[in-house]
Structure 1
Amino acid sequence: MAVSEKTRKIIWGEAGGRCAICRVQVVTAGTDYDDPSVFGEEAHIVARSKGGPRAGLLDDASIDSHTNLVLLCSRHHKQIDDQPGHFTVDRLREIKAQHAAWTRSLSEATPGRPKLVPNPGFPQPRVLTLITRGNPLWNMIKSSVTFEYALPDGLPAENEDLIMEFLNVVQDYCDIAAELHSVRENRDAEKGLQSYLSRLAERNFLVGAFVRQMLLTDGSGQEGTPWPMLRVKVQPASHATITDEGGRPFPNEQPSTGASDKEQSA
């Protein structure tokens, strides 16, 4: 039995066209020459096949019903199937229900289109904080709900691959930070970030970051939802300038990659 067109409409409508885990829109804009790209997938909570992840006792009609499907981006679809011990049936049903409630809150509270705007109650950072240890970056990740990044163009392939690998790790930690509660889990996250910071330092790259306090609003005039945004930038040490908090450069100061501290744990 296949997923019906009606079921697909229900799934996409309940999810607002967003992945239930990362809440990213799973349809990209079209171009002058191409249609929009779709990377959303209707993922089974209880697997259709007997040997699949979270396989259980559901009849054929229920397997492909909207109650057993959740809209995910392709990356998180693969993750939940690769990690069924963490993404249990109950956990996925909770994720789906929470996401549906969040989607309804956006549409019911206001008629406008959601957007991020600076939170006027907080000063906005003007400079990036130099990050040389895993602990400060992990604390920023835990306090953020969204993530953006910047990296230089024209890098050798091996350097760009390392930077992209690091940024993917940061994105992954942003996705799961709220689910890591034990001291061990947090410590392991810090060490994982520290490892990448040290490898980047060995290649003379600096990592800067800040958390920008934003609001998720829809233009209705009502108070928005706090939506802290982490910004991470990787750049060659030779391109960086040390400044004070107001952005004024210190004379005769050269930034350090911290490469000599690469063995220090976070």
Structure 2
Amino acid sequence: MAVSEKTRKIIWCEAGGRCAICRAQVVTPGTDCDDPSVFGEEAHIVARSKGGPRAGLLDDASIDSHTNMVLLCSKHHKQIDDQPGHFTADRLCEIKAKHAAWMRSLGETTPGRLKLVPDPEFPQPRILKLITRGNPLWNMIKSSVTFEYALPDGLPEEDEDLILEFLDAVQDYCDIAAELHSVRENRDAEKGLQSYLSKLDERNFLVGAFVRHMLLIDGSGQEGTPWPMLRVEVQPASHATITDGSGRPYPDEPPSAGTPDEKQSA
């Protein structure tokens, strides 16, 4: 069972986007040509695999609970797994609790400190990129921390079921993207997304998406943590306005899922 999106949000918010051991922010700023780099990892206190560190102390239903997860930088994630004799389950629970208490103490002087705001370093997107292939959507998923969506009302049940199944798949891929490392795993994810895009195209639905660059700020005056948010929308082709990259309406028919996705969907 994968870690759910809700669980990931709880872990990151409780930790304030910081490693529970060194308390360093675990997302680097982006550059003028690259997205921010995320090196925070949701680490299991009790391992999921039977041969992993501190394994065998929890039932399967509790393994992926937020109570069994702690946010760490990649360096300290490796350390706790390499040194399970020192980093016992009890010690990690204590580290997590002390870090959460420290984060709450910051909030005592700045109530309501944790919130998402637009990152001024990036222009905020206003036009959805038309998605017709699995690869670009998968790349957006991998670069995002969280996910939001929109779909039309009043659809036939069969169409709504397909769209909801697609959006659930996007959320599932968001949950596990950080755990997929091999080329084959990434390619399988692209193919899974492509399958849904092709089915939606057959029913004359368009999929649009963009990544909104946000900052998670805590009111302490320190630099915010980059928090890229993926937005995905599904709309009937008859209701969408197809534009070029500058936002001008495109006169031709919208592309199908088998053609390159260079145009935009407003």
TM-score after normalising by structure 1: 0.61
Q: Cα distance, 1:119 vs. partner?
A: 0.1
Identity %: 65
Contact in 1 for aligned 2:130/2:207 (Cα 8 Å): yes
Q: Distance in 2 between matches of 1:141 and 1:172?
A: 10
Q: Cα distance, 1:260 vs. partner?
A: 7.6
CA change 1:118–1:246 in 2 (3 A) is: farther
CA change 1:101–1:217 in 2 (3 A) is: farther
1:21 partnered with 2:8: yes
Q: Distance in 2 between matches of 1:257 and 1:95?
A: 50
Q: Structure 1, residues 67-122: CA drift from partner, whole Å, max 9, x if none? A: x887449xxxxxxxxxxxxxxxx8xx699799768755743555342111100001
CA change 1:150–1:98 in 2 (3 A) is: farther
Task: Tell me the equivalent position of 1:191.
Answer: 191
- The equivalences for 1:218-233 within 5 A come to 218-233=218-233
Corresponding letter in the other structure for 2:10: R
CA change 1:97–1:206 in 2 (3 A) is: farther
1:166 partnered with 2:166: yes
Q: Distance in 1 between matches of 2:145 and 2:129?
A: 19
Corresponding letter in the other structure for 1:258: A
Structure 1 gap ranges (5+): 1-17, 26-43, 48-53, 74-89, 262-266
Q: Distance in 2 between matches of 1:134 and 1:197?
A: 7
Question: Larger radius of gyration, structure 1 or 2?
Answer: 1
Task: Tell me the equivalent position of 1:208.
Answer: 208
Q: Structure 1, residues 136-185: CA drift from partner, whole Å, max 9, x if none? A: 00000000000000000000001100100000010011111111111111
Task: Tell me the equivalent position of 2:125.
Answer: 125
Task: Tell me the equivalent position of 1:80.
Answer: none
CA change 1:46–1:130 in 2 (3 A) is: closer
What is the SS of the residue equivalent to 2:254?
Answer: coil
Corresponding letter in the other structure for 1:161: D
1:258 partnered with 2:257: yes
Q: Cα distance, 1:222 vs. partner?
A: 2.7
Higher-RCO chain (CA-CA 8 Å, sequence separation at least 6): 2
Contact in 2 for aligned 1:131/1:207 (Cα 8 Å): yes
Contact in 2 for aligned 1:207/1:235 (Cα 8 Å): yes
CA change 1:20–1:206 in 2 (3 A) is: closer
1:237 partnered with 2:237: yes
Task: Tell me the equivalent position of 2:18.
Answer: none
Contact in 1 for aligned 2:148/2:231 (Cα 8 Å): yes
Q: Cα distance, 1:46 vs. partner?
A: 8.9
Task: Tell me the equivalent position of 1:180.
Answer: 180
Q: Cα distance, 1:194 vs. partner?
A: 0.6
CA change 1:106–1:132 in 2 (3 A) is: farther
Structure 2 gap ranges (5+): 13-44, 49-53, 68-83, 261-266
Corresponding letter in the other structure for 1:204: N
Corresponding letter in the other structure for 2:207: V
Q: Distance in 2 between matches of 1:166 and 1:226?
A: 27
CA change 1:112–1:249 in 2 (3 A) is: farther
Q: Give aligned pairs, total.
A: 195
Q: Distance in 2 between matches of 1:69 and 1:184?
A: 26
The 10-residue stretch of structure 1 (192-201 or 217-226) with the greater mean CA deviation from structure 2: 217-226
